[in-house]
Structure 1
Amino acid sequence: MARSQGVNQDLSNLLNELWKLDVNRLKPGRDYRLGLQGKAGYVAQGSNDARDSAKLPLFSFVNEAKLRSIKTYNSFMNLLDNYEMSTGSPETVTAEELAEDSNFLDAILQTSVMKRAHEYLVSKHQSPSDLKSFKNQLFDIWFRLYHRERSGGEDSCGFEHVFVGETRDSKELIGFHNWVQFYLQEKLKNVDYKGYKAVGNKNTPDEDDHVLNLQFSWKDLVKPLGTSFIGVSPEFEVAVYTIIFLMSNDKKTSVIVNVDEYQLELVVCRHGHAIGTSYPKLLSNNHQHR
């Protein structure tokens, strides 16, 4: 599954299946509302100086009671405060945090999305059919700690990087590709949304788009361009990135897919036997109001 310029049709078919199975995806306009506001400006490499093209938050409303009532979101949110923000600071994992990791994996493994992903990976001889062994495999990919920085102890894991976000040398914001974390940090006033980034010849995204290119700062460190799925469930993201990770041995895998109305480039980088980073890049959007 190395990089190709063309669309990977097999993977597109599978991801569209997962998309349809994602019953926990929130509905834009009903479960949450976005205020996209202005188009983000250019940020020089290494700079944390960004023009603010959005005076208001990105999320004007999220039905948090609904989030808390869905087991996968609730167990996911319990994990977001388990990590040190800075790489190079060793992570200390408590028994309680390990139990939270386990609860989250148990919750997502009960969903149709992860059941289908598991079935597919077993058929491709990438995952064990036994559920307990598959859960252990997921733990190693997402939660096993490793060294991201050479100095210090084990300071990072796939889950922390992709879903929570990290800082490097207190100067650079890395990872942070999840909309729930974005919303919660924005509510705490730690995240400042700066505006959207347009794609191709489409100048303005739509407020019910499920994939957006964003510019924002987190505790004053700027992410010049971060792409996130919006409204999708944690199990959908874990399923997608796990499949791409296990179907390729490359250090960096980049694959183009058509999912729903979006053409995406999905990028997964490995860090040994774990995920180093994974994120979508929005290439185009054939938006039709439905």
Structure 2
Amino acid sequence: MAQGNQHQDEAELSELCKALWKADKNRLVPGHDYRVDLQGRAGYVSLGKGNATDYARHPLFTFVDENHLHEKPTYHAFIALLDNYESATGIREIVTPEEKDENSRFLDAVLHTEVMELAHPFLVKKNLASADLSQFKWQLYKIWFELYGRGTGNDSSGFEHVFVGETRRRKEVIGFHNWIQFYLQEKRGNVDYMGHHARRWKNQPDEEDHLLTLQFSWKEAVKPKGSSFIGTSPEFEMALYTVAFLLGTERSSKYRIQVDEYRFDLVCHRSGSRIGSTYPILLDSNLPV
């Protein structure tokens, strides 16, 4: 991507992100709809050497108003997808007709939100998506749910990697950048929160922060460092990640974004015409945008 185009896309994506943030009516309110206990800073982890130290004795989430998770259509449809995958790479995914219907219902719910109704025209104007909603839905389906190989053929998808998470060689958690999945897996005893990574300019993240960098273990594998939005709706994340992915033409793209107090790099990796991975990296506040 030419440098001029990169800067233009970055500026436009940052402005769109601000609009999406403002339009995210389903975002949960920290301290009211949910509470987190950040506890200690995470330590260094050398994968496979068994030296991970847990600096958080208690779960990250101390409370979530689950009415939001079941009464809001996009949350409800999103949660229905989380048990559709084999977490280990190298195991082929089998998508049942029921699961295809669940994928479709989730996209229908997302497409009728204010957030996606902002993202779609942006992409149409950029000639990156069809104005026809049914064609755009099919494009989203292929980007997010079409299977590809990560450890073997058809063992992964963009949705699984980003929102559900995967394990590699039973040692490392890859992907897994969604707070709803984190909360539900933590509630079931599958996730052990091990501490946060603080920004240098801020000794302790705020418990009202909507973007955190965490360390945790899941199914005996470790995620040494991963950033996730906290409390945001599924449609916000899907809209932002989709736009960032479609703007990029290289195998990997990175956009520097500021929204409210948060400065972050939004990273996108492609797997052909599908999302390989996409996630935010929280930055120090004194870095340039």
Q: Percent identity?
A: 56
Query: 1:82-131, CA deviations, whole angstroms, 9 ceiling, x for partnerless residues?
Result: 00011110000000000000000000000010011001000000000000
| Correspondence list, 1:15-26, <5 A | 15-26=17-28
- The answer to whether the Cα contact below 8 Å between 1:2 and 1:255 also exists between their aligned partners in 2 is no
1:120 corresponds in structure 2 to 122
TM-score, normalisation: structure 1? 0.94
* Structure 2 gap ranges (5+): none
1:211 to 1:6, Cα distance in 2 relative to 1, 3 A = farther
Cα separation, 2, equivalents of 1:205 and 1:6: 31
Query: 1:41-95, CA deviations, whole angstroms, 9 ceiling, x for partnerless residues?
Result: 1112554531111111000000011211000000000000000011110000000
2:82 corresponds in structure 1 to 80
Query: 1:27-49, CA deviations, whole angstroms, 9 ceiling, x for partnerless residues?
Result: 00000000001111111255453
TM-score, normalisation: structure 2? 0.95
Cα separation, 2, equivalents of 1:8 and 1:254: 9
1:272 corresponds in structure 2 to 272
1:100 corresponds in structure 2 to 102
Structure 2 letter corresponding to 1:132: S
CA RMSD of aligned residues (A): 1.7
- The answer to whether the Cα contact below 8 Å between 1:5 and 1:256 also exists between their aligned partners in 2 is no
Are positions 1:178 and 2:178 aligned together?
Answer: yes
TM-superposed deviation, 1:284: 2.8
TM-superposed deviation, 1:9: 2.6
Cα separation, 1, equivalents of 2:216 and 2:239: 26
Cα separation, 1, equivalents of 2:119 and 2:129: 10
4-13 or 19-28: bigger deviation: 4-13
Cα separation, 1, equivalents of 2:90 and 2:208: 38
1:285 to 1:78, Cα distance in 2 relative to 1, 3 A = farther
TM-superposed deviation, 1:172: 1.7
- The answer to whether the Cα contact below 8 Å between 2:212 and 2:229 also exists between their aligned partners in 1 is yes
Count of paired positions: 284
1:59 to 1:21, Cα distance in 2 relative to 1, 3 A = same
TM-superposed deviation, 1:285: 4.8
- The answer to whether the Cα contact below 8 Å between 1:7 and 1:258 also exists between their aligned partners in 2 is no
1:253 corresponds in structure 2 to 253
TM-superposed deviation, 1:171: 2.1
195-204 or 123-132: bigger deviation: 195-204
* Structure 1 gap ranges (5+): none
Instruction: Give the counterpart of 1:135 among 127, 134, 137.
Output: 137
2:91 corresponds in structure 1 to 89
Query: 1:210-262, CA deviations, whole angstroms, 9 ceiling, x for partnerless residues?
Result: 00000000012111101000000011111111101111111000110101210
Cα separation, 1, equivalents of 2:176 and 2:213: 13
- The answer to whether the Cα contact below 8 Å between 2:35 and 2:207 also exists between their aligned partners in 1 is yes
1:56 corresponds in structure 2 to 58
Cα separation, 2, equivalents of 1:105 and 1:61: 28
- The answer to whether the Cα contact below 8 Å between 2:47 and 2:172 also exists between their aligned partners in 1 is no
| Correspondence list, 1:222-261, <5 A | 222-261=222-261
Cα separation, 1, equivalents of 2:8 and 2:222: 32
1:184 to 1:5, Cα distance in 2 relative to 1, 3 A = same
Cα separation, 2, equivalents of 1:28 and 1:285: 21
